[in-house]
Amino acid sequence: MSNENKIEREIPYGKKLVIKERNLEQAIEDMNQQFEDFIESGEESDVVVGFEDPEKIRQILTPKRRELLGAIISAEPESITQLAEITDRGVTEVHRDLEILKENKLVYIEGEEVNGKAKKPVVPYSDIEINYDLKNSLMNSERIKDFERA
């Protein structure tokens, strides 16, 4: 099996991405549920990315990074250089933002392991959903906790 085929199989094409606030206990529950779903159906479930601190979601999905996601989805650039041209940004800036999006499973890079081939950024998901418990987040903020202690 070539590296290219192996990489393309690891990219979750057509899956739904769910970004949500969750702690370690919830992450373990989600993994167990995904495993049970896989055993029952034989198919992998949605890709779930969780963050214990909801502020991290906002830090990752900055306006510039959302613009990159939109450009990848709508224009389907063939390379990082082309994506930089589409968004009128420098290649270094775009590459840096893509690395952050890639680390958080929002973007994948086709051809990354193949020397001499253009590295094509892709958002392989059929849908991206963000679940955020605003009320719980607000009630758990440090400022509110400090107020309750006073």
pLDDT at 95: 95
Query: In the chain, what is the greatest distance between 2 CA atoms, to the nearest angstrom?
Result: 63
Q: Is residue 61 part of a domain?
A: yes
Q: Residue for token digits 């892709």?
A: 122
The whole domain housing 88 covers 3-128
Q: Is residue 19 part of a domain?
A: yes
* pLDDT at 105 > cutoff 70: yes
Q: Is residue 142 part of a domain?
A: no
Average pLDDT value for residue range 87-111:
94
Per residue in 108-121, pLDDT (tens digit) is: 999 876 676 789 99
pLDDT at 73: 95
* pLDDT at 12 > cutoff 60: yes
CATH code of the domain containing 51: 1.10.10.10
- 22-26, 87-91, 122-126: range with highest mean pLDDT: 87-91
What secondary structure does DSSP assign to 60-114, as a single string? HS-HHHHHHHHHHHHH--SSHHHHHHHHT--HHHHHHHHHHHHHTTS-EEETTTS
Q: Is residue 16 part of a domain?
A: yes
Using the Cα atoms of residue 74, residue 44, residue 51 and residue 9 in order, give the sign of their dihedral. Answer: negative
Q: Is residue 50 part of a domain?
A: yes
Q: Is residue 62 part of a domain?
A: yes
Per residue in 60-76, pLDDT (tens digit) is: 999 999 999 999 999 99
- The total number of structural domains in the chain stands at 1
Sheet containing 127-131: give its strands across: 47-51, 16-21, 127-131
pTM above 0.85, yes or no: no
Of 71, 66, 87, 85, the closest CA to residue 121 belongs to 71
Per residue in 25-45, pLDDT (tens digit) is: 766 777 677 667 767 776 666
| Contact predicate 60/100, CB 8 Å | yes
| Contact predicate 77/71, CB 8 Å | yes
Q: Is residue 147 part of a domain?
A: no
Q: Is residue 134 part of a domain?
A: no
* pLDDT at 8 > cutoff 50: no
